[in-house]
Structure 1
Amino acid sequence: KTRQQRRKWDKEKCEEILKDIAENKLTIRAASRKYGVPQSTLQDKVQGKSALDANLGRPPFILQDEEDSIIYYMKYRAEHGFPTTKKAILALALEVHLRHCAKNGTAPKVHPQRGLSQKWWKGFKERNSTILRQLGFLENLSTKSEDRTKYFDQLKTIMTKEGVNGQPHRIYHADETGFDLDSALEPLTFAKLNVPGAAIRKGSHDHKLSCLECVAADGATIPPLITFSKSFPTADYTSEGPDNALYAVTPSGLVEGDAFLRWLQESFLPFCSPVRPVLVLMDPSSTHVTPEVID
């Protein structure tokens, strides 16, 4: 018999056995001998520790409440103009699972670096095919003209809904640029409008650096987030940096979830327009729009 057939047979058989136990006052041992079902299985069913329709095999990595959270965050991203891609969903799923395990004091069932398996992804797609269609799921980011048109139509709708049309001080664009800090390169320079550039000296740091910069449509700037890989430089890396700049370290040297959340809280919100809401246009990186950022 296939696994599906065994599951169905097990449920029907358990219902029959439990009825026999209740009506004829069979002991667990007698019922086990009569029906050829392990005593431990019958004991769990009688005591309610295992559902009659419990699946055979290992329990799922991602519990139902975790999957519900993944769908919630997917919908939020889609409603705010971020495309629903496989990469984004897998990143959300990993974040949700790790956060659930940390909250409940349990060990993660998924390797933090490897993430969810293709087997899990296939099952998730099958279970949520209708929702994925409604959210305009894309296997990968698309550059087709019809998809670009759809994006700008959605952007127009959001801008009208939030009342930011004709409000350049409430519309921001944030973008990240990465650099290799090779010894042959000159010091990096960050310039503001009408202000001489400020340089950050490389010192002995030989890894990578990235800068997240954000500017409003009226020219107002937000203090940048400057991220180093692995560790901060040994030299005084802040002495010639931009005013109020925020500095962070990530394994990759690129902006990741925790660093981005810190920038939002410590740089963007204090320095952006006091008139809310504000609109931020940025790339759809899964490391930016994490569950923590959405919350």
Structure 2
Amino acid sequence: MPSRNHLDKIGRRKKKKWTEEAMERALVEVKSGRCTVRQAAKDFGVPKSSLGDRVSGRVTPGSRSGPAQLITAADEELLVEFSLYMSKHGFPLTKQQLVSFASSIYKRQHRRVAFSKLGQTWWLNFRKRQEKNISIQPADSVVRGRTVCVRKEAVDHFFHLLNNVMDTHGLRDKPHHIFNCNETGFQLGRKRVNLPKSASLGYKAAPGSRDHISILACFSATGNDIPPYIIYSKAYPGGVCYKTQGPPNALYGWSDSGCINSDLFKKWFLKHFLVHVGKERPLLLIFDGHKSPVNLEVVEAARNEDVILLCLPSHCSHILQPLDTGLFVLLKQRFAALIGDGCATDTHFAVSKKEFSGVFKETYQVAKEEEGVQIVREGFRKCGIYPLNHFAISDGNLMPSHNMGPVAGPTLSTAAQVLHTVGDLTGAEPTS
């Protein structure tokens, strides 16, 4: 992989001293038979070899010199516009994310290629070509992890974005157009047994006996739901009973971790959310940007379908995520009550992987009852999302800006830097 110094040396090489107009005029003279390649190159001040290549057809007139660009200029402009859209919706891209999205474009153009050629060289050249459109800034120096106090600037910025989105798209009085999707986890284990004290102090699960299952839930500010997305770890349970016994119209998937990832989120958004959400537009979908499940296909589909994606600030979901503020607690309490496990903790439950969907079907009914609907609505109100109310977040949960200092430790590397577009830094609105 070439270093930055190597690329800088390439950039300092002697630039061509001839213009395309001079080359075109020389080409016309040669093709008309009025002069030879040597004479035309001398008269118009262009390289003889370059003119000869164009005369012979080895090089197309007007083409750029050097190797072909890995993604086209039009797609590169789309990538910059995409970066602007993400920055304006609370999700500025990191270098790795932008290269990943560029790789997705490259693979769509080269479907037979097993891997992407985009790497450090492409990234540095892209930055050079787009230096007027993008800017690299270090990521905010905040203490990672969910803390009692969160940054006031992050919350203020989120409500600024939310206010602009609601005013621009006329959503202030349309709670049925405002959705929040969020993931919660259930850690499953073997059922507990009571043993004599002389034999054992209690049941201890064997290593690897636990399965993690995630639920991606989505509700509107009116309390209406999109059927849940149940994500198993490592593989589906045996047989098909998990589908027949689960909640009506639920979607199922699996990942190694049992948590949402970009591929699963794309499947949910394209084949589930857009199918069940109806045809009313525009829609606002608010979700946690911490795990960054969004990919290029999701954003393109959202823009085509007039769905505004808005990311919550990282590590602020416990005060800004409506479903975190009440509904998920209610679901886990109902789940524990149904399996008769009064000792169940917040995330550990004594039920098998095969039994989960059937128990969760009964659990999920609470979300459709009056109690569950009211809790969902109250969650949107507590978070200040609907009705829109910045002052719903207590100042006691916010850390003032003057208390924020840089985190002790090494300087952030390029890999941790965040990509912003110049349009984002100047407050420009994204193009539709």
TM-score, normalised with respect to structure 2: 0.48
Asked if residue 63 in structure 1 is aligned to residue 68 in structure 2, the reply is no
CA contact (8 A) 1:85 1:141 kept: no
Preserved CA contact (<8 Å) 2:183 2:215: yes
Kept in 2: contact 1:257–1:290 (CA 8 A):
no
Aligned pairs for 1:77-116 within 5 A: 77-79=86-88, 81-86=89-94, 87-102=96-111, 107=113, 110=116, 116=118
Counterpart contact for 2:71–2:105, Cα < 8 Å: no
Q: How far is the alpha carbon of 1:246 from its aligned partner?
A: 0.3
Q: Which residue of 2 aligns with 1:194?
A: none
* 1:95-124 deviation digits (Å, cap 9, x = unpaired): 22222323xxx636616xxxx423322332
Q: Is the 8 A contact 2:270 2:298 kept in 1?
A: no
Structure 1 residues 20 and 279: alpha-carbon distance in aligned structure 2, compared to 1, 3 A threshold: closer
**Which shifted more, 46-55 or 153-162?**
46-55
Q: Residue in 2 aligned with 1:5?
A: 13
Report 1:125-204 matches (<5 A).
125-133=127-135, 139-140=138-139, 145-177=152-184, 184=189
Take 2:131 and 2:10, find their aligned partners in 1: how far apart are those partners? Answer: 25
Q: Distance in 2 between matches of 1:2 and 1:17?
A: 28
Residue of structure 1 equivalent to 2:293 = 287
Matched, 1:260 2:270: no
Post-superposition offset of 1:174: 0.7
Relative distance call for 1:117 and 1:281 in structure 2 (3 A) is same
Specify every segment of 5 or more residues in structure 1 that has no aligned partner in the other structure, as ranges: 187-203
Question: How many Å separate the matches in 1 of 2:277 and 2:161?
Answer: 23
Cα distance in 2, alignment partners of residues 142 and 243 from structure 1: 44
Counterparts in 2 of 1:208 and 1:141: CA distance versus 1, 3 Å: farther
Question: Would you say the 8 A contact 1:66–1:97 is kept in 2?
Answer: no
Note if 1:25 corresponds to 2:35. yes
Is 2:37–2:51's contact at 8 Å kept on the other side of the alignment?
Answer: no
Amino acid at match of 1:170: H
Offset from partner CA, 1:248-274 (integer Å, 9 cap, x none): 245665434453343234432343366
Say what the alpha-carbon RMSD is for the aligned residues: 4.2
Q: CA deviation at 1:151?
A: 2.4
Contact 2:231 2:254 in 1 (8 A): yes
Aligned residues: 258
Q: TM-score, with normalisation over the residues of structure 1?
A: 0.66
Change (3 A) 1:242 1:139: farther
Higher relative contact order (CA 8 A, sep 6+): 2
CA deviations on 1:39-97 (whole Å, 9 max, x unpaired) are: 6x5543223724577333x3332221221221232233344x13222244223212222
CA deviations 1:169-195 (Å, max 9, x no partner) are 3221112345676xx467xxxxxxxxx
Aligned amino acid, residue 83 of structure 1: F
1:280 aligns to what SS in structure 2?
Answer: strand
| 1:238 matches 2:240 | no
Q: Which residue of the partner structure matches residue 123 of structure 1? A: 125
2:218 to 208, 214, 220: 214
Alignment of 1:220-231 (within 5 A): 220-228=224-232, 231=235
After TM superposition, give the deviation of residue 154 of structure 1 in Å: 1.4
Q: Deviations over 1:5-29 (max 9, x none)?
A: 34425879x959869957873368x
2:70 partner amino acid: F
Letter in 1 for 2:231: T
Is residue 54 of structure 1 aligned with residue 54 of structure 2?
no
Structure 1 segments, 4+ long, off by >6 Å, are 204-207
Cα distance in structure 2, aligned partners of 1:177 and 1:141: 26
Percent of residue pairs identical: 25
> 1:208 touches 1:228 (CA, 8 Å); kept in 2?
yes
SS in 2 for 1:282: strand
